[in-house]
Chain A
Amino acid sequence: MEKVGVCDEFVNLKATELRLGLPGTEDVCQEEKEMVSCGKINKRALPETEKEIESTGKTETASPPKAQIIGWPPVRSFRKNSIQAKKNESEGQGMYVKVSMDGAPYLRKIDLTVYKQYPELMKSLENMFKFSVGEYFEREGYKGSDFVPTYEDKDGDWMLVGDVPWEMFVSSCKRLRIMKGSEVKGLGCGV
């Protein structure tokens, strides 16, 4: 159906309207908004209509960019937010844990999901705190350095980083602490 005629008429009306305000600023937004509402859907994302996306706390969605019309499709916010929350969880918003190092005056936070295995994590920690971690031996722990990476798990126990498989570590690690050698004896680490 030809709707352009009605639109054109209307758009021209807007252009000749006497109004306060700088020309070409709000005009454009209002015009675009009206074009969306009276004609075929414009594929560009419109500033006003981003309200819907922002309200769910994300500025981008997993879907291809599409003009988001306010309140369309008519799904209640409660439901939309539930779907969004689930998407966030499954896409992973990161597993941030605090990292401290004995003797260092600052704490850092890292996202464990960024790493694929222990060596990557170790390298990153070494760069972050400017130390070197030595070599990990299964039965004997870390050798060749004063510093030993440890972590607190879900049960509150302090463990040696590397003792458990990587996935188990990522899901159970609450925070990291890089201990100085002398304290670490109890963790079964030979110095």
Chain B
Amino acid sequence: MYLRLPSKVLERILFFIDSNDDRNSVSLVCKSWFETERLTRKRVFVGNCYAVTPAAVVRRFPKMRSLTLKGKPHFADYNLVPDGWGGYAWPWIEALAAKNPLLEEIRLKRMVVTDECLEMIAASFKNFKSLVLTSCEGFSTDGIAAIASTCRSLRELELRECIVDDLGGDWLSYFPETSTSLVSLDFSCLDSEVKFSDLERLVSRCRNLKSLKLNRAVTLDGLESLLRRAPQLTELGTGSFSDELSPEALSKLSKAISACKQLKSLSGLWDVLPEYLPALYSVCPGLTSLNLSYATVRMTDLVDLLRRCKKLQKLWVMDLIEDKGLQAVATCCKELRELRVFPSEPDLEEPNVALTEQGLVFISEGCQKLESVLYFCVQFTNAALITIARNRPSIKRFRLCVIEPFAPDYKTQEPLDQGFKAIAMGCKDLQRLSVSGLLTDKAFEYIGKHAKNLGMLSIAFAGDSDLMLHHLLSGCKKLRKLEIRDCPFGDTALLENAWKLETMRSLWMSSCFVSFGACKLLSQKMPRLNVEVIDEMYPPETRPESSPVERIYIYRTLAGPRLDMPEFVWTIHKNPEIGVSHLAIK
């Protein structure tokens, strides 16, 4: 007997389901479940803005209140995607403004956002509450001013590492005197000084303000004044921490900081002078997140601070912490879940810093809850990787960047194949992996076979042949995103495993040996993929079929060919005689 679950009941159940993965599963059960689910989904996530049209998304989810979109591929962060490639927010904003005026939240990552987009948002969504832009570009402080002045219920305004045309600090003064709704404000990526008295008044009247991330231009005196007015903060990003302060002023600042009894997260600290670090001691015991990655202070000063942070879960720091410092962290910070160690001198051939693989080994020994690692290091060993995997099978995200390309295990001169094999086999929940150092095809055989939960893999300067790509595409069952640069594989593996590409979000390959001919063939074989050839040097049609192309970006899509491709991007749909039809990009 088959009893159908009434849609009202299903609705009630779905009310409790937030996870979009779960909701996606629900929507596959049958047509009526699909209908009920789509009419109740409030938060929509689109991982690739070109995988589906704005119209389709807006039509499917009429009750949408929050949209998260991602644009450019991840390697755009490292300047591998030329300017003008795409990722425009405008078509989405336009579609939403027309059909979804009750929208409350927009979160964009690696997209091109113009002032017109921001003005459209301000004008169209009466209940707009939250704007979070991460690694976006294309707008100026005028656009921000429009949001500030018009969005009456604005709760979150966060600009995270955006490239903004900074026309001055006036934008902040556009928050009306009546606006008191702010909960989170992040303008850390802007250069210009805002009018301090306006900032002070804004902070004073927003009694619900919990997160405040200032830009470098805010002085320590300013910080002291703001903290006095907002001791309820849970997240603080300071401005520049190096102004000259008299002992009285430093003492005042210490006092203001210590009044923030609920502070959990601390960042900013640009150029912090070591003698000012003690001003932070009072809040250390409560901190769960600390970003010292812009603090160029020595190991001893870092350790004095960190040994007081017993509850720390997330630590971002520079390699100035050295092995010894990490050993101390392993002893004191038992709650650590995430560690990122950045290079203080990324371009030096041999940085003069005592950070080796041993530092990470200490952490893997001492921090039982460790899940997420990003580690820049000059060189590494298989033994260290094997030890880390054995100590910490709980690791879910492991990104190791051995700075010297092709660097072997420096003790044995062997490739790092065995080390990464241990990581793939030992860390059963591994979701994200970045590999580096000298690696043969074998390494990828191990990864393909054992990394059953791997969703995202990043590779640079590795492998010997097509086998490498073949191992990955024929293994790694849950692979969603694969990004590869400077590896010597060619067409064969790609064409043989073409079917796999429809199960993934995207594949990026640059400076490899994939030919234009293979791209054309792949496009013909797989109509539901966009195979983009991105080549700034030569339009692909002018070259012989066998010549390798600069970059390829392949992604599955329901939207068909995109209409906003610049001249250096080619897909099979482009007709060189007619030219490209450009979407009006405002």
Residue B66 interfacial (CB < 8 Å) = no
Type the 1/0 row for B367-403, where 1 means its CB is closer than 8 Å to any CB of A.
Answer: 0000000001000000000000000000000000101
- How many whole Å from A26's CB to the nearest CB in chain B? 8
Interface size on A, residues (CB 8 A): 41
CB contacts under 8 Å to B, within A25-75, are 26, 30, 34, 37-38, 40-41, 51-52, 55, 61, 63-64, 66, 68-75
Interface: B511 (CB within 8 A)? yes
The one of B161, B348, B401, B405 that contacts A69, using a Cβ cutoff of 8 Å: B405
Please state if A80 and B349 are interface contacts (CB–CB under 8 Å). Answer: no
Q: Does B177 contact A (CB under 8 A)?
A: no
A3 interface contact, C-beta 8 A: yes
Whether the pair A74, B349 counts as a contact (CB closer than 8 A) is no
Closest residue of chain A to B406 (Cβ to Cβ) is A40
Residues from chain A with a CB closer than 8 A to the CB of B343 are 73, 75
Let me know if A80 and B346 touch, CB within 8 A: yes
A74 touches B78 (CB 8 A): yes
Say whether B79 faces chain A, with CB atoms less than 8 Å apart. Answer: yes
Please give, as numbers and ranges, the residues of chain B lying within 8 Å of A20 by CB-CB distance.
542
Flag if B77 contacts A74 (CB, 8 Å).
Answer: yes
Q: Is B180 an interface residue (CB 8 A)?
A: no
The reply to whether B296 and A17 form a contact with Cβ atoms under 8 Å apart is no
CB contacts (< 8 Å) of B376 on chain A: these are 73, 75
B346 x A83 contact (CB < 8 A): yes
A82–B488 alpha-carbon span in the complex (Å): 34
Known: A40-B406, A71-B75, A75-B346. A13 touches B546 (CB 8 A): yes
Does A78 lie at the interface of the complex (its beta carbon under 8 Å from any beta carbon of B)?
yes
Q: Is the interface of B mostly helix, strand, loop or mixed?
A: loop
Q: Are B349 and A41 closer than 8 Å at their CB atoms?
A: no
Known contacts A13-B546, A51-B79: A66-B293 contact under CB 8 Å: no
Are B346 and A41 in touch, CB under 8 angstroms? no
Q: Does A77 lie within 8 Å of B511, measured CB to CB?
A: no
Within 8 A of A (CB), among B488-519: 488, 511, 513
Residues on the B chain within 8 Å of A118, using CB: none
Give the size category of B's interface with A: 35 or more
In angstroms, Cα B438 to Cα A88, docked, is: 34
| A1 lies within 8 A of B440 (CB) | yes
A77 to B80, CA, bound (A): 11
Contact B189 A78 (CB under 8 A): yes
A86 within 8 A of B: yes
How far apart are B400's CB and chain A's nearest CB, in angstroms? 11
Q: What residues of chain A lie closer than 8 Å to B542, measured between beta carbons?
A: 20
Whether B486 pairs with A63 at a CB distance below 8 angstroms is: no
> Is the pair B438, A1 in contact by a Cβ cutoff of 8 Å?
yes
CA distance A71 to B537 in the complex (A): 18
Contact present for B546 and A63 (CB under 8 Å): no
Query: With A61-B347, A71-B485, A72-B78 in contact, do A41 and B546 touch (Cβ < 8 Å)?
Result: no
Complex Cα distance, B513 from A3, in Å, reads: 13
Q: Which residues of B contact A76 (CB under 8 A)?
A: 77-78, 135, 161
Bound together, the chains give a CA A64 to CA B345 distance in angstroms of 12
A182 to B273, CA, bound (A): 46
Q: How far, in angstroms, from A41 to B349 measured CA to CA in the complex?
A: 12
| Bound CA–CA A79/B460 (angstroms) | 20
A107 — which chain B residues lie within 8 A by C-beta? none
**Is the C-beta of B344 less than 8 angstroms from some C-beta in chain A?**
yes
B446 proximal to A (CB < 8 A): no
Instruction: A59 to B63: give the CA distance in the assembly, Å.
Output: 53
Q: Does A10 contact B (CB under 8 A)?
A: yes
Chain B residues with CB under 8 A of A104: none
Q: Check B79–A41 contact: CB distance below 8 A.
A: no
User: How many Å from the CB of A80 to the closest CB on chain B?
Assistant: 7
Q: Are A37 and B296 in contact (CB under 8 A)?
A: no
Contact A38 B342 (CB under 8 A): no
A168 interface hit (Cβ, 8 Å):
no
- Is A22 close to B, CB under 8 A? no
Q: Lowest 8 CB-CB distances: which A-B pairs, in order?
A: A71-B78, A37-B511, A63-B348, A78-B161, A37-B486, A71-B80, A74-B78, A73-B403
A sample of 23 cross-chain residue pairs with beta-carbon separation below 8 angstroms, ordered by A number, consists of A1-B438, A6-B488, A6-B513, A38-B513, A41-B406, A52-B79, A63-B345, A63-B349, A64-B348, A64-B349, A66-B347, A70-B80, A71-B79, A73-B376, A74-B77, A74-B78, A75-B78, A75-B342, A76-B135, A77-B78, A78-B189, A79-B293, A83-B345
A interface list, Cβ under 8 A from B:
1, 3, 6, 10, 13-14, 17-20, 26, 30, 34, 37-38, 40-41, 51-52, 55, 61, 63-64, 66, 68-80, 82-83, 86, 89
Which residues of chain B have a CB within 8 Å of any CB of chain A? 75, 77-80, 135, 161, 189, 270-271, 293-294, 296, 342-349, 376, 401, 403, 405-406, 415, 434, 438, 440, 458, 460, 464, 485-486, 488, 511, 513, 537, 542-544, 546-548
